[in-house]
Amino acid sequence: MSTLQLEQSRLDKRLPIVSICMLTMLFVATYFVLRALPDAQCGFLHYEEIVHPDGTIEFCATNHAGFLDLTRLKYPVEMELTLENESAVQGSGQTVMLELLTSGGTPIAPYELAVTHTKKMHVMVIDPSLQDYHHVHPRADGINGQYTFEFTPNRGGAYQVFTEIVPLRTRRQIIATGTIEVAGTSGTMAFERQTSSVVNGLRFDLGNVPKEMRTGVDYRFHLDVAAVDGSSVVLEEVMGASGHMVAFDQARKGFAHMHPMDSVLSSGAGTENEADLAFLFNVPNPGWYRVFAQVKVSGREMFGHFDVEVQ
C-alpha cells in the first residue's frame, strides 16, 4: 500500500471520531443554553401566530393553564415604576410611568413587542388583600422603553405589579415585577371556598370546580355570566375573546393568566352567556387562590372573583 493510501486510510478512520466529537459538543452546548432560559410552562412557542384579514399578525396563547411562580423564575428584564404625583393615595387617580429594560440595560421599545390578545403589554396590579385587581394596557411614550398607564387604587398598601410581554424576536413570554406603595387603609385578606360572585348586577358562576384539588393537575373550569335575575347577557369582546381569568396565590408569588379555550372572537362580535367559556387551571403550590373573571357587558368591563383551595 502506498504512502498516500495509508494517509487516506488514517483520515477515513479519524473522520467518524471527529464527527462524533463535534456532535457531542453541539448537544452539550444546546443543553446549557436551554438550562439558561427561563423555566416556565410557556417558555417555548406558547403563542401561536394568527393572521387577521387586514394582514396584521397576532400571537395568541394556547390553552394556558400554568401558574407562574416568580420566586422560582428569573426573566432577563428589569422594570422601574415611577408616579407622576410622586406618591399614591387611596382613591386618587395616578399616572404611572413604567420603564422596561433588558438585563443589560437596553430599553425595550414598543416595535420590539408582539401583539398578544390584541395588546402589546398586559399589566396586572393587585393589592395586598387580593381585593382590588386592575388589568391595564400601558401606552408607549416614544421608542425609549417608557410607557404610561392610569391607576386608581381603592385600598392602601404595597400593590404588586406584574407586566407580561412577548418580544417579537424570541416569541417567548417575559414577566417583569414591581410594587406601588399606596397610602391608605389596607384590606383584610380572608379566604373561603367561593364559586359565585355578584358584581354590578351580574352573577358570575365558576363551574366544574372539585371540592378537593391537587397541585400539578389540569382542571377545566367553566365560567357562566348572567344577570342577577337569571336572564342572559351579551358578552362583548374583551382582549379578543369573550372573557379572561387571572389567578393570584395568597402570598402573591405570581399569577396565572388564563385565556378561554375556544377560538378568538372576530372583531366586534358578541356572544350570549351560554357560550362555552372554559379555562384550564393548574398550580404548583398548595394553598388558597383568588381567581378574577373579566368580562365586558354594555361597554363596561367588570370583574367577578372566586376563592379555591388547592391541597
| 43 is a domain residue | no
Provide the number of structural domains found in the chain: 3
45 within a domain of the structure (yes/no): no
Please tell me whether residues 111 and 179 are part of one structural domain: yes
**Is residue 38, in this structure, part of any structural domain at all?**
no
Indicate whether 218 and 137 sit together in one domain: no
Which three three-digit cell numbers place residue 36?
439558561
Q: Are residues 222 and 151 in the same domain?
A: no
**Last residue in a domain, options 183, 210, 245:** 183
Is residue 279 within 8 A of residue 257, CB to CB? The reply is: no
Q: Choose the final residue of a domain: 183, 212, 228.
A: 183
Q: Which three cell numbers stand for residue 117?
A: 390578545
Q: Is the same domain home to 97 and 178?
A: yes
pTM: 0.78
Q: What is the CATH number of the domain that holds 246?
A: 2.60.40.2550
Domain assignment of residue 190, yes or no: no
Nearest to 61 by CA among 207, 241, 195, 304: 241
- Range of the structural domain that residue 219 is part of: 196-310
pLDDT tens-place values along the chain, 311 residues long: 555 555 555 645 555 554 555 555 655 444 343 333 333 333 333 445 544 445 554 444 444 557 999 998 889 999 999 999 888 999 999 999 999 999 999 999 999 999 988 899 999 999 999 999 999 999 999 999 999 999 999 999 999 999 999 999 888 889 999 999 999 999 899 999 999 999 999 999 999 999 999 999 999 999 999 999 999 999 999 988 899 999 999 999 999 998 888 744 433 444 444 446 999 999 999 999 999 999 999 999 999 999 999 99
Q: Could you give the 3-state DSSP secondary structure of residue 76?
A: coil
